[in-house]
């Protein structure tokens, strides 16, 4: 580990008692400067946390003249701190300013002054330095990793299917079309038909990728581009598929919640209601619904109140599911299908097909 | 583990001596049938290998009448085999045909009869049952997993950036455009500009996703859609970036080659030539090249012969690299850039930028 003007030797969370007295360097951005005359306290934040830096003498002027949020590399010696917020601190020997920030800043990334979403998006890099914002990205990355781990441990192979397709494969509604060298092409809405072909040989496949729907609805629940976790397996039925969905969800919670005593994972049992169970429950709540009616947002909100957290709705009528979902053998009006709900939100949609070569 | 008509209990590679005498069930497709009168030998293949199945008595007729490549679930008892190809075999009790194959088959997925690429793509699911074809998919999945593992262990956060973009961000050449609710939109060519913003807060990010280029060149090296492994880190220089690329490549080989004694991983040291080194080498080979000329396919083929396997070409001239690659501080005609080559093929392109808020 070389202490120079370019390289960090430690992230903020690697500064422990065991390195007191050592010369190290950290890299991040100046979140705060408190000038108390002969010295100043800097808070230098990186993606993993914050470090208190003490500057005095020759580095003092440079430090207090640097605009907040400037990117810096600070080398110095680790020492115990008298601050109530920091157990250890860095006594700065050298400060290199590798990127000087604008002054004044367009938004306050510390969160002390709130900004509207438009202003935040205009200065997104700065907005991402708010730990509240970046934590979403960090958690998301962990969850994706966790989903992949579960699927791989269950024997699934990761595949990548085409996003540019030549024909409107799934009905053709809500497709983005474009010209592809004088031919018509579309952006894929899902890898459904590719997945089905792939499992005929690879047995179990998954893909995590962006898909596209030309949804002309300006709501938070209609996205034109979204990340989809697609899973397909041969030789299983739709109850097995629900078991797998449950395993994926539970593992996400298991890893993320490992350090939270207040979260009892074993309590997470996901009940499997039928579509007709739901109709009955909704009728009891006064809704006028007939077999074959889709469950509206209002209906799902009612169900979400009756069933806290996760629940499945299975055995949907044929008319509400796409052609590749098979009918139930004992009732041809129903399909071997399910949705996984979290309250009123649909998280997963699945079902059993029937394919032959 | 329940032996029934729907579920497998074992994959072909899970049939070991320890389960001789046990009743199990396997699922896959009939690759071969050898009828010897009172009994027949089936080869049932799944994604992990093949199992020999012996059928006689009541299952015999059903088995020999089933077209090859039909999907089946076979339950029976594991016993030692006299075959020279199989150490153990399954004495069939029951055969369920879950998907009957066409007869005759459009192509031969066992590879004994070769088909042209067009016919193979027309029957891709069948073609994928050729272990030679499926092995590419299985290896690819492992390599992706391995790349992610290396990057995560180096502190990288997985991100997903938009594929639909509103402006031609990187020069505008080779973009697919389309109408997005009466506005002009484009398919992203790379996450470059997003990555650069993200590292200002997240420090180290990667994305593995499909990107799009309207390349009107019908060659095997010009793809309109491709999977890109994009990596970006703050507070490192381009020599560090080459170190990281080397680590990613070596780890891929380390895991894939763990069982190959003939492959000496430690020999894999990747030399770092400069662009000007390459010019000199090519001139010695008789090529007329001046500073600033791009290296043609022919030139790269010559270099590929001089440098076996992997090598870097670094310090490219400013005019050959995009605007976001920074100049070298000690020579403003050169950039802090590199390509990783494997023979004549460019595998990675990278460089050092300079960003401030």
Verify that B264 and B353 share a domain, yes or no.
yes
- Contact between chains at B145 and A152 (C-beta distance less than 8 A): yes
pLDDT for the residue numbered B10: 97
Domain boundary among A111, A127, A143: A127
Candidates B141, B237, B355; nearest CB to A157: B141
Task: Return the CATH number at A152.
Answer: 3.30.930.10
Answer yes or no: is B323 within a domain: yes
Answer yes or no: is A318 within a domain: yes
How many domains does chain A fold into?
3
* Residue/partner pairs of B8-17 with CB below 8 Å, 24 or more apart: B8/A235, B8/B73, B11/A155, B11/B46, B11/B47, B11/B48, B11/B49, B12/B44, B12/B45, B12/B46, B12/B48, B12/B49, B12/B50, B12/B51, B13/B48, B13/B49, B15/B51, B15/B78, B15/B88, B15/B90, B16/B88, B17/B87, B17/B88
Angle made by CA atoms B327, B330, B334, in degrees to the nearest 5: 40
Answer yes or no: is A252 within a domain: no
Q: Say whether pLDDT at A310 is over 90.
A: yes
Verify that A137 and A122 share a domain, yes or no.
no
Verify that A87 and A148 share a domain, yes or no.
no
3-state secondary structure of B185: strand
Per-residue pLDDT tens for B117-175? 999 999 999 999 999 999 999 999 999 999 999 999 999 999 999 999 998 766 667 89
- Contact between chains at A99 and B124 (C-beta distance less than 8 A): no
Candidates A158, A197, A236; nearest CB to B124: A197
Residue with tokens 């009756």: A306
Per-residue pLDDT tens for B78-122? 999 999 999 999 999 999 998 999 889 999 999 899 999 999 999
pLDDT level of residue B204 (50, 70, 90 thresholds): very high
Verify that B141 and B113 share a domain, yes or no.
no
- Contact between chains at A357 and B102 (C-beta distance less than 8 A): yes
Alpha-carbon span A187 to B110, nearest angstrom: 34
CB < 8 Å to B216, chain A: 181
Domain boundary among A127, A154, A173: A127
Closest-CA distance, A303 to chain B, in angstroms, reads 32
Verify that A100 and A189 share a domain, yes or no.
no
DSSP string computed for B3-31: -SSS--S--GGG--GGGTT-EEEEEEEEE
CB atoms inside a 10 Å sphere around CB B249: 19
pLDDT for the residue numbered B305: 95
Verify that A203 and A269 share a domain, yes or no.
no
ipTM above 0.90, yes or no: yes
Alpha-carbon span B126 to B69, nearest angstrom: 8
Candidates B179, B203, B216; nearest CB to A46: B203
Verify that B46 and B158 share a domain, yes or no.
no
Answer yes or no: is B210 within a domain: yes
pLDDT level of residue A218 (50, 70, 90 thresholds): confident
- Contact between chains at A137 and B148 (C-beta distance less than 8 A): no
pLDDT for the residue numbered A140: 96
Verify that A120 and A1 share a domain, yes or no.
yes
Q: Are A344 and A300 in contact (CB under 8 A)?
A: yes
Q: Which domain holds residue A18?
A: 1-127
Q: Say whether pLDDT at A355 is over 60.
A: no
- Contact between chains at A8 and B235 (C-beta distance less than 8 A): yes
pLDDT for the residue numbered B255: 76
Q: Say whether pLDDT at B229 is over 80.
A: yes
Answer yes or no: is B246 within a domain: no
Closest-CA distance, B118 to chain A, in angstroms, reads 16
Identify the closest residue of chain B to A164 by CA–CA distance.
Answer: B225
pLDDT for the residue numbered B148: 98
Verify that B33 and B75 share a domain, yes or no.
yes
pLDDT level of residue B221 (50, 70, 90 thresholds): confident
pLDDT for the residue numbered B163: 97
- Contact between chains at A203 and B47 (C-beta distance less than 8 A): yes
Answer yes or no: is B122 within a domain: yes
pLDDT for the residue numbered A169: 67
Verify that A42 and A155 share a domain, yes or no.
no
CB < 8 Å to A227, chain B: 160
Answer yes or no: is B241 within a domain: no
Verify that B294 and B207 share a domain, yes or no.
no
Closest-CA distance, A259 to chain B, in angstroms, reads 21
Task: Return the CATH number at B27.
Answer: 2.40.50.140
pTM of the model: 0.94
Verify that B68 and B161 share a domain, yes or no.
no
- Contact between chains at A47 and B202 (C-beta distance less than 8 A): yes
Chain-wide mean pLDDT for chain B? 92
Identify the weakest region by mean pLDDT among A97-106, B13-22, B150-159, B194-203: A97-106
DSSP string computed for A215-263: ----STT--SEEEEEEEEESS--HHHHHHHHHHHHHHHHHHHTTT-TT-
Q: Say whether pLDDT at A196 is over 70.
A: yes
């Amino acid at each position: 580990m070389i202490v120079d003007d370019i390289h960090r030797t430690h992230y903020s969370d690697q500064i422990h008692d065991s390195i007191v007295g050592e010369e190290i360097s950290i890299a991040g951005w100046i979140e705060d400067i408190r000038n108390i005359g002969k010295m100043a306290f800097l808070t230098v934040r990186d993606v993993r946390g914050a470090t208190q830096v003490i500057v005095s003498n020759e580095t003092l002027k440079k430090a207090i003249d640097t605009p907040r949020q400037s990117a810096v590399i600070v080398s110095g010696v680790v020492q115990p701190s008298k601050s109530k917020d920091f157990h250890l601190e860095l006594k700065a020997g050298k400060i290199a300013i590798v990127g000087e920030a604008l002054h004044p800043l367009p938004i306050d990334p510390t969160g002390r002054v709130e900004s509207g979403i438009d202003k935040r998006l205009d200065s997104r890099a700065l907005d991402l330095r708010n730990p509240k914002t970046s934590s979403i990205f960090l958690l998301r990355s962990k969850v994706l990793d966790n989903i992949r781990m579960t699927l791989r441990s269950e024997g699934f192979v990761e595949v990548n299917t085409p996003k540019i397709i030549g024909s409107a494969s799934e009905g053709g509604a809500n497709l983005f079309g474009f010209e592809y060298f004088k031919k018509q092409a579309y952006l894929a809405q899902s890898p459904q038909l590719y997945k089905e072909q792939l499992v005929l040989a690879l047995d179990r496949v998954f893909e995590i990728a962006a898909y596209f729907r030309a949804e002309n609805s300006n709501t938070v629940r209609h996205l034109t581009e979204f990340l989809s976790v697609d899973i397909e397996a041969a030789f299983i039925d739709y109850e097995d598929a629900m078991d797998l969905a449950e395993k994926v969800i539970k593992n996400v919670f298991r890893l993320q919640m490992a350090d939270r005593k207040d979260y009892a994972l074993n309590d997470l049992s996901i009940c499997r209601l039928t579509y007709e169970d739901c109709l009955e429950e909704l009728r009891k709540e006064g809704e006028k619904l007939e077999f074959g009616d889709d469950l509206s947002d209002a209906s799902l909100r009612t169900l979400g109140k009756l069933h806290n957290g996760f629940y499945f709705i299975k055995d949907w009528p044929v008319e509400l599911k796409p052609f590749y979902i098979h009918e139930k053998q004992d009732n041809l009006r129903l399909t071997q299908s399910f949705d996984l709900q979290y309250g009123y939100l649909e998280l997963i949609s699945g079902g059993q097909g029937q394919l032959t070569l």
